[in-house]
């Protein structure tokens, strides 16, 4: 598996395709809610690829104030869940964030994924509240 951090068009296309499959088609979230004003040409995405260059998992990097990196729109292709890819992607994103000055990470995660994020060292700091029709909590982790 290879993880690439980039805002180049092919990287954005891979991230968007995964999000379309997972959030819009599988979860039933409206496309106009899933793809928002944070999806710009400048936005950085992390995408995990198989050896055959199939995009398997993705997340969106959203720098916040006070050295906080927010990881958003995290998802893994259905056939590849349960294999540790999401954890590997998140760990790589945390390392990238640290290298770029972040001291904390934040995720607004659906309640259905809360256990996964807690297993990765995140702690609920707010919520639940509704976002795009799903109950969500804010989770944070100190990176350094």
CA-to-CA distance for 39 and 16, rounded, in angstroms? 9
Q: Where are the alpha helices (DSSP H) in the chain?
A: 9-19, 31-34, 85-99, 114-119
Encode pLDDT of 66-124 as tens digits: 999 999 999 999 999 999 999 999 999 999 999 999 999 999 999 999 999 999 999 99
- pLDDT value of position 144: 87
71 burial via Cβ count (<10 Å: 0-12, 13-18, 19+) = buried
| Residue 20 pLDDT > 90 | yes
Domain span at 20: 2-142
**Residue 109: in which H helix or E strand, if any?**
strand 104-110
Q: Would you give the distance in Å from CA 60 to the centre of its chain? A: 5
Q: What's the total number of domains in the chain?
A: 1
Residue 35 DSSP one-character state: S
CATH number of the domain that residue 81 is part of: 3.40.630.30
pTM for this entry: 0.93
| Residue 26 pLDDT > 90 | yes
- pLDDT value of position 16: 98
Residues 14-25 have a mean pLDDT of 96
Q: Would you give the distance in Å from CA 77 to the centre of its chain? A: 12
- pLDDT value of position 109: 94
């Amino acid at each position: 598996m290879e993880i690439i951090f980039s805002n180049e068009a092919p990287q954005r296309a891979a991230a968007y395709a995964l999000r379309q499959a997972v959030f819009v088609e599988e979860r039933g979230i409206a496309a106009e809610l899933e793809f928002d004003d944070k999806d710009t040409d400048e936005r950085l995405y992390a995408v995990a690829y198989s050896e055959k260059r199939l995009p398997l998992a993705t997340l969106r990097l959203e720098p916040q104030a006070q050295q906080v990196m927010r990881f958003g729109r995290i998802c893994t292709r259905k056939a590849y869940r349960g294999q540790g890819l999401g954890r590997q992607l998140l760990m790589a994103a945390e390392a990238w964030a640290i290298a770029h000055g972040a001291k904390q990470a934040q995720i607004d995660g659906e309640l259905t994924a809360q256990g996964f994020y807690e297993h990765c060292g995140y702690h609920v700091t707010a919520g639940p509240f509704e976002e795009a029709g799903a109950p969500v909590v804010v989770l944070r982790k100190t990176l350094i």
